[in-house]
């Protein structure tokens, strides 16, 4: 199996690159943000809970997020592999993912991290907010909170994968196809 963690701050381009990677490598795309938004749209209990954190730019608690992710992985027993997009965002989530994959006799192949500086992220997110309909992309304070949460809580997840020799950083500024090619090079080298 090819299991990729696509990592990076909000606005780094994870969603865009995930779409291209799943087409090329026939992987199942699991975006925790997308799953939460689908639950909000469907007015589920999980959606109501997630919304109360997402609207403030905070992380949904680990216990809830991990349980949801596990259930999504379990729904795809014959997957070629997964792209985890927006997960793991804490070291506890990364550790839980390792345990889950191990129970399925597989593991993370590599973490691809899109690196984009903060000023560019703020610009991209506000621009995306104009047509994404995402409330968390439209409010500069919520955007800043998400970037701060990334720096304080999520960025340490890099160390988790660096220790396993799986961390690969990629410059996330440039042309979409150029960035995609860089990602593919790293994947080919890790396969």
Residue closer to ligand AMP, measured from CB, 36 or 189: 36
Retrieve residue 92's tokens.
């506890």
Retrieve residue 17's tokens.
């690159």
Q: Enumerate the β-bridge partners of residue 169.
A: 113
CB of 12 to ligand AMP, least distance (A): 10
| Residue 32 in contact with ligand AMP, rule: CB under 6 A | yes
Instruction: Spell out the residues 6+ positions from residue 146 whose beta carbon is closer than 8 angstroms to its own.
Output: 9, 10, 57, 125, 136
Segment 110 to 169, residues that bind ligand AMP, using CB under 6 A: 136, 146
Residue closer to ligand AMP, measured from CB, 9 or 27: 9
Q: Enumerate the β-bridge partners of residue 110.
A: 4
CB of 6 to ligand AMP, least distance (A): 10
d(CA 73, CA 63): 16
| Residue 47 in contact with ligand AMP, rule: CB under 6 A | no
- Residue ranges binding ligand AMP (CB under 6 A): 10, 32-33, 36, 53-54, 57-60, 65, 86-87, 89, 93, 136, 146
């Amino acid at each position: 199996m090819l299991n990729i963690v696509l990592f990076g701050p909000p606005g780094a381009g994870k969603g865009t690159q995930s779409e291209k990677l799943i087409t090329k490598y026939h992987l199942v795309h699991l975006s925790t943000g997308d799953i939460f938004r689908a639950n909000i749209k469907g007015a589920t209990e999980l959606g109501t809970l997630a919304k109360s954190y997402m609207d403030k730019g905070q992380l949904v608690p680990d216990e809830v997020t991990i349980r949801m992710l596990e259930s999504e992985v379990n729904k795809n027993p014959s997957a070629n592999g997964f792209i985890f997009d927006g997960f793991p965002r804490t070291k506890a989530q990364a550790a839980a993912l390792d345990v889950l994959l191990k129970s399925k006799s597989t593991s993370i192949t590599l973490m691809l991290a899109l690196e984009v500086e903060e000023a560019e992220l703020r610009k991209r997110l506000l621009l995306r907010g104009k047509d994404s309909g995402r409330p968390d992309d439209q409010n500069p304070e919520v955007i800043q909170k998400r970037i701060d949460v990334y720096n304080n809580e999520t960025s340490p997840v890099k160390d988790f994968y660096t220790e396993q020799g799986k961390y690969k950083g990629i410059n996330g500024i440039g042309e979409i196809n150029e960035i995609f090619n860089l990602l593919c090079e790293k994947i080919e080298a890790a396969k």
